[in-house]
Chains A and B, each alone.
Chain A
Amino acid sequence: MKKIILILFIIGIAAAFYFWFFQYNKEHIDVKAANADITLSVSEMLKDAEINITTPLEFDKKYLKKDGKGKIIKIKGIVNKIEPKDSVSNVIFGSEPEGFIISIEMLASENEQVKTIQTGDIIDVQALYVGILAPDEMMEIPGTILLKKGSLK
C-alpha cells in the first residue's frame, strides 16, 4: 500500500512539474501562421472606431478575446503611409482628417518587403490587435488603432 501511495505521489509531482514547465515556457502565438479571428476592411474597422469614439472599452470588447488577449485581425485596405525603420516598419491605414488611423507595427522578418510598399497600394495584413487610443487634442494625435506583429498576406 505504501508503495502505491509513493508511486502515485511521484507521478503527481512529475505531472505537476511537466505541466508547470510547458506552461511556463509556452511560446507566444504565431500571428503570421495562425488563422485570423476577424477578417475585415480598413473602412469597416475605422467606422467601428468612429461609432465607439467615446467608448473605447466597447471597441476593445469586439477585438479582444474573452481572456483579454488581442484577436488576430486580417485587414485589407489602401495604404496611407509607410513609416520605414531599420528593424521594424509601421504601415498606416486611414488619414488624420478622418479622425482615426490604423497603425500596424510589422514583423522584423517582413521589413524588406514592407519597405517596397507604396502609398495607395491595396494590401492585406494579418496582425494582432493591441488597443485603441481616442483622439487627443493635447497631444495632437488622431484616434489610433494599434496592431502589432503584422505580416503581408
Chain B
Amino acid sequence: MKKSFILLVAIAVSLTSQAQKYFTNSGKVSFFSKAAIENIEAHTNQAFALMNTTTGGIAYKIIIRSFEFDKALMQEHFNEEYMESVKFPNATFEGKITNLSAVDFKKDGTYKVTVKGKLTVHGVTKEVEIPGDIKVEKGKIVNQSTFKIKLADYGVINDKKTKIADEIEIKVDAILAPKS
C-alpha cells in the first residue's frame, strides 16, 4: 500500500514537472523589410521553440534555409548574399521572461511579457530585449512577438541599400503544447 502511494506521488510529480515545459517544432516566424522596388517578406513554419513555465526560459531554433519567399530569386539572394546560410545555417534565441509573475499559466488569458536574452543570427550573438504576448489557451501557450533588428548588428552586409532596408521586422507566432 505504502509502495503504491509512493509510486502514485512519483508519477504525479513527474507529470507536473513535464507539464512545465511546452514545445513546438512548427512555430511560425516571418520577417518584413521595406525595399525600393518591392517589399520583402518571408516565413517559415519550421521553427523549434521551448518554454519552461517555471523558470520563464524561452528558446528558439530556426534553420535559415526553411524561410520561404514568394520569389525564388529573392530566396536565393537571401541565402547566398545576405545570410550565407551554408556557413551560418541556424538562427537561435535563448532568453528568459523578465516579468514571469505577470503570467498566470493556470488561467486562460493574454499576458504582456518582456523577454531578455541572446539572439544569434549570421553567427553573431547580441543581447536583446523583446516585447511579446503569452496567450494561455486551453492547455496550450501561444507565444507572439513583433520586434526589429538591424542587419548591421549581425554582420549582414547590406551594400545594396536600394534592395533592402537596414532594419527588418520579425514576427513570431508559435503554439506550444505540453512536452511529452
- A: which residues have CB within 8 A of B? 23-29, 56-57, 60, 64, 67-70, 83, 85, 88, 90, 103, 105, 130-133, 136, 138-141, 144, 146, 148
Contact, CB under 8 Å: A130 / B26: no
Which A residues touch B26, using CB under 8 A? Answer: 83, 85, 90, 105
Interface residues as binary, B7-48 with A (CB distance below 8 Å gives 1, 0 otherwise): 000000000000001010110000000000000000001101
Which A residues touch B86, using CB under 8 A? Answer: 57, 60, 64, 68
- Interface check B129, CB cutoff 8 A: no
Contact, CB under 8 Å: B63 / A139: no
Distance in angstroms from A32 CB to nearest chain B CB is 15
Which B residues touch A131, using CB under 8 A? Answer: 63-66, 89-90
Supply 11 A–B pairs (Cβ within 8 Å), ascending by A.
Answer: A26-B71, A64-B86, A69-B76, A70-B65, A88-B45, A130-B63, A133-B61, A139-B50, A139-B59, A140-B50, A141-B23
Distance in angstroms from B50 CB to nearest chain A CB is 5
Q: Identify A105's interface contact among B21, B23, B45, CB under 8 A.
A: B45
Which B residues touch A29, using CB under 8 A? Answer: 72
Alpha-carbon distance between A29 and B72 when the two chains are bound, in angstroms: 8
Alpha-carbon distance between A67 and B75 when the two chains are bound, in angstroms: 12
> Would A68 and B80 be within 8 Å (CB), given that A60-B89, A105-B46, A131-B63 are in contact?
yes
Which A residues touch B145, using CB under 8 A? Answer: none
Contact, CB under 8 Å: A24 / B48: no
- Interface check B53, CB cutoff 8 A: no
Contact, CB under 8 Å: A68 / B85: yes
> Would A136 and B73 be within 8 Å (CB), given that A68-B85, A103-B25 are in contact?
no
Which B residues touch A136, using CB under 8 A? Answer: 61
Which A residues touch B65, using CB under 8 A? Answer: 70, 130-131
Which B residues touch A139, using CB under 8 A? Answer: 48, 50, 59, 61
Which residue on chain B has the smallest CB distance to residue A87? B45
Interface residues as binary, B67-100 with A (CB distance below 8 Å gives 1, 0 otherwise): 0000111011001100001100110001000000
- Interface check B126, CB cutoff 8 A: no
Which B residues touch A148, using CB under 8 A? Answer: 46, 66
Which A residues touch B46, using CB under 8 A? Answer: 103, 105, 130, 146, 148
